[in-house]
Amino acid sequence: MRILTVGPLWRGSNAGGLFRALSRKGCLIDVVDEFYYVSLKTRNTVTKVLERLIRPRQAEEFNNAIKERILTFKPDVLFVYKGLFVAPSTLDFARENNCKLAMFYPDISVTVHGNNIIQSIPKYDVIFTTKTFGIKDMEKKYGSMNSVFVPHGFDPEIHRPLEFGKKERDIFSCDVSFIGTYSPKKEKWLSYVKEQLPDINLKIWGDQWFKMTESNLKESVQGMPIFGDLYAIGIQCSKINLGILLERVPGASSGDRITSRTFHIPGAAGFMLHERNEESVLYFDEDKEAGFFDGPEELVQKIRFFLENETQRETIRQAGYARVCRDHSLDKRAETVISHLNSVLSKDN
């Protein structure tokens, strides 16, 4: 199977990890990386204004690159990861050139990423969503009957045990960490943890934590995200890694039930304390392969317990690592994706 994949390849990208897994499973892969064409990471205010002015030209060049690659690579499938800048007309071009169309959508809601995704949903032959509720949302809101649930997984090239030294321990070692983007719920729960356990060493890594208003988290917020090897080291250097989930946002029928960190943390051989719900407990046995909590009060209780019981914490950590390696790699997810793509391709035969 020849697959033209569209999405970012930066080290630690979930998209790039899945693309490489598809390659390891025998697919012929080519990649159009949107970050080569569209600048998104600038923080300077003036540069941001200038980027917005030229972004339509950047997006046009990006879509032209996809079309050129379709003509030269001649893929069986155009596989779009999220597709913020993929124009519906580009999908039409792919279809005219005998490509089946697939999208992998990893987020809670599609409404927060502009019109391209919304307008393109009906055009895809199959949509892979990492949210079980995403299937109903796609059907109810956009009439798509082609959605398939495929959870996130860990990337064995990124989320793995690493050797490191004193320099890394000095930066990352802590009792408890949360690695993820800011949200009001996360701030509220982490502030409650710090209020109840003021002496713990809590470190918070991620984007948008400048929005924080709780003063007791000021020393905990590190002011930056961590990616790639530093992400894996940050997980390993934390005695307890928290899996606090994103709350419901506009355009979604539910908040998160699992996320990429559900698998990244044990993949990097970290101890995971994860928010409990009907889905999260399906992937790891509670108190055997991961710790679980329901709400901030139990979160505090579990943090206190696992900090005081190192032997039990270590046993759970090792079992969680064994479980994720066995069942939850991106290679396993790639097998599921390939099976569904084969079904789509076989419909014309």
The CATH code of the domain that includes 188 is 3.40.50.2000
Position of tokens 């393109």? 120
Task: Please give the pLDDT value at position 168.
Answer: 96
Give, rounded to a whole angstrom, the gap between the first and last alpha carbons of the chain. 15
* 180/45 same-domain check: no
Q: Please give the distance of CA 186 from its chain centroid, rounded to a whole number.
A: 17
Residues 250 and 188 in one domain: yes
Least trusted range by pLDDT, from 116-125, 138-147, 281-290, 331-340: 138-147
| Mean of pLDDT over the chain | 95
CA dist 54 → 49, 247, 309 (Å): 9, 34, 55
Quick one: DSSP state of residue 200?
S
Please determine, for residue 296, whether its predicted confidence score (pLDDT) is greater than 80: yes
Alpha helices in the chain (DSSP H): 14-24, 45-73, 88-96, 115-120, 132-142, 166-172, 184-196, 228-236, 261-267, 295-308, 310-327, 330-346
Residues 139, 196: one domain?
A: no
Phi, psi of 284 (to 5 degrees): -140, 135
User: Domain check: are 135 and 271 in the same one?
Assistant: no
pLDDT of residue 43: 75
Per cent of the chain over pLDDT 70 is 100
Give the pLDDT confidence of 19-55 residue by residue, as tens digits.
999 999 999 999 999 999 998 777 788 887 888 888 8
160 domain residue, yes or no: no
- Tokens 């998104």 sit on residue: 40
d(C-alpha 120, C-alpha 231), whole Å: 33
Question: Are both 294 and 197 inside the same structural domain?
Answer: yes
Total number of domains constituting the chain: 2
Whether residue 190 is found in the same domain as residue 280 = yes
Structure-derived torsion over alpha carbons of residues 225, 230, 234, 237, reported in degrees to the nearest 10 = -160
116 phi and psi angles, rounded to 5 deg: -55, -45
Domain of 219 in residue numbering reads as: 166-327
Residues 230 and 245 grouped into a single domain:
yes
Are 112 and 172 part of one and the same domain?
no
* pTM confidence score: 0.94
Same domain, 147 and 30: yes
